[in-house]
Amino acid sequence: MENKIEIHNMNLHYGDFHALHDINLDIKENEITAFIGPSGCGKSTLLRSLNRMNDLVENCRILHFGSVSLTDEPSRSATLETVRLARSLGKTISYDPNYRPFLWPDTDEAVRWMKEGLSLADIVKMSEEELFLLTGSQEPEEGTKELAREGKALILVSLGAKGAFYRRGDTCGLLPTAAWQNWSFLLWRPFRRRSWKKSSPMAMPPVPSPPPERVLFPLFLQKKRSSDAAERFPFFVEMGTPIS
């Protein structure tokens, strides 16, 4: 049977790390080929080399990930290998531990792998609970100070209704929850392919203070009359004006 893909003496490095060693492999046409091996052996690295997913990493500026994909294999090794590749290429790494107890076998396992993700990040956004799990401190000022010593460029801790605590080096402080003036913005939905329908304005509830000068709201567009009804497109509106 004819070979669909042939690999000869393939080697791949992430900086100084030699990830793939002298790979030789023939993949036959119309046959199922499985890559099986322990975590970190290079399965995902080889697959991304074949489907050129690494091109997406090379072309990005910031790579963001969370710990949900670290809860089990094979997504765990695929995620970590991708993040390590991005770091080796000088990309900025953003991380949200996003602790979900029901996805982990136990807390110790969760902390172990959430710390592994944390060790690779430049920017970290976390909750008070996650700060305690990963630093042992319940005080945002102390916990973020420890993370800054480990080299994190920016740390954000969400505090619910109180707002968020931030730290960038020695600079830190509390950002209170924003309040919004009564104002409206528009949601835009695809009516049909290449035709767009504007929905009715949605008014924000009246509150004491005006909105910040520049605010971006992440929204989603859902494509109608498409073969994939769940296909979604992110976009933003800025102070009532759709922007791309």
Residue 118: enclosing H or E segment and its boundaries?
Answer: helix 107-118
Strands 202-203 and 184-185: antiparallel
Phi and psi dihedrals of 242, rounded to 5? -65, 135
**Statement: residue 206 has pLDDT above 70:** no
How large is the average pLDDT for residues 183-204? 41
**Statement: residue 240 has pLDDT above 80:** no
∠ Cα 228 229 234 (to 5°) = 95
Reported as a single tens digit per residue, the pLDDT across 155-189 is 999 998 889 999 999 999 998 886 554 444 444 44
Distance of CA 221 to the CA centre of its chain: 20
Closest to 48 (Cα-Cα) out of 92, 96, 84, 3 = 84
The top-scoring range by mean pLDDT among 27-31, 48-52, 147-151, 229-233 is 147-151
Q: pLDDT at position 53, please?
A: 67
**Statement: residue 70 has pLDDT above 60:** yes
Closest to 48 (Cα-Cα) out of 73, 82, 14 = 82
Q: Is-contact 35 10, C-beta < 8 A?
A: no
The top-scoring range by mean pLDDT among 38-42, 137-141, 195-199 is 137-141
Residue 21: pLDDT band (50, 70, 90) is confident
Whole-number Å distance between alpha carbons of 188 and 241: 10
Query: Residue 91 has what DSSP assignment?
Result: -
**Greatest extent of the chain over all pairs of C-alpha atoms, in Å:** 73
Burial (Cβ within 10 Å: 0-12, 13-18, ≥19) of residue 125? buried
∠ Cα 11 16 21 (to 5°) = 20
Q: Percent of the chain, pLDDT > 70?
A: 70
Residue 2: pLDDT band (50, 70, 90) is confident
- Mean of per-residue pLDDT scores for the chain: 76
Residue 95: pLDDT band (50, 70, 90) is very high
Q: In terms of pLDDT, which residue wins out, 148 or 10?
A: 148
Residues in the chain: 244
Lowest mean pLDDT among 9-13, 61-65, 120-124, 195-199: 195-199
Q: pLDDT at position 198, please?
A: 42
Phi and psi dihedrals of 50, rounded to 5? -80, -40
How large is the average pLDDT for residues 33-48? 79
- What one-letter code names the amino acid at 242? P
Q: pLDDT at position 180, please?
A: 53
Q: Percent of the chain, pLDDT > 90?
A: 38
How large is the average pLDDT for residues 210-234? 38
